[in-house]
Structure 1
């Protein structure tokens, strides 16, 4: 476990998470489809989620990508996930992608989870700069980035291509290690 509070805990993805992760992703497909299409495509059945978890655990061991799971402390539910991706160990930079289930949206939990995961990634993994990309209309994500201490840097033109849609401009938010010069 990398973090625990009164309401939720955060841990690296584990095989035992398969059923609850699949439940989160399948039950929130409509909510997540625009910005997490690949993750959803890889988790359509329990079996595909089990395979996804095996691949992501291997990826974490190789330090290519890390998936963190947010567990509700009052049930067995997984309420969200945070993916640390696009890692560049030479310049100590990575990017967060995240989602939270509809029932838990708007409670500030994801901002707290991003703050806790940011601390872990900086202190334990040694990254110095973290990024979040969000579309300006995804106000929940923008508010999560800002509420987690990330600062807006730029608008990136045609940065993201949703399934069967035109490319979207994305807002870049960044957090740098406080003692970084």
Structure 2
């Protein structure tokens, strides 16, 4: 995927997490552990920077195989979050976007702005037809992002994700290329 680094605007850039970014990524995760743990199961598996080595290698392989990406979001040259495409279904021209953001950078439009720029690219350059965002039903901040951008809510999957000690209902939103920028 030759789209990286991806300049969203003058303040926001998206780039593949490299081994050199490992410590900065770990700091982001560790500083936001309590905040992010409410929604992400994998945080407890990342207890030191070295725990990210195999994950970063897997992310590089996914990019190489055109099978999605996991990238950092830099805001004014500071790593503040992540955004990624989970598996790209090239046959059906579909993917899903996942994201996380440092709690101290919420409310600045960083994720919404990044997703809008990615949608422009995914529909125009990758010729995808459908992009999905899934969020926990109770994660109102996360759900407001696809709602604000104009994604269509397809429904709620009941108890679709086990999260530590309980099930979460998952909301699914979609955007079609025919609906984007109309």
1:88-167 alignment to 2 at 5 Å?
88-165=89-166, 167=167
The offset of 1:27, in angstroms, is: 0.9
Equivalents in 1 of 2:28, 2:159: separation in Å?
29
TM-score by length of 1: 0.87
Shift in CA distance, 142/179, structure 1 to aligned 2, threshold 3 Å: closer
The 3-state SS of whatever aligns with 2:81 is strand
Equivalents in 2 of 1:33, 1:117: separation in Å?
26
Q: Does 1:50 pair with 2:49? A: no
Unaligned runs of 5+ in 2: none
The offset of 1:25, in angstroms, is: 0.9
Cross-structure match for 2:176: 176
Structure 1 stretches (4+) deviating beyond 3 angstroms?
Answer: none
TM-score by length of 2: 0.87
The 3-state SS of whatever aligns with 2:172 is strand
Unaligned runs of 5+ in 1: none
Shift in CA distance, 53/23, structure 1 to aligned 2, threshold 3 Å: same
The 3-state SS of whatever aligns with 1:157 is strand
1:20-35 alignment to 2 at 5 Å?
20-35=24-39
Aligned length: 176
| Aligned CA-pair RMSD | 1.9
The 3-state SS of whatever aligns with 2:163 is coil
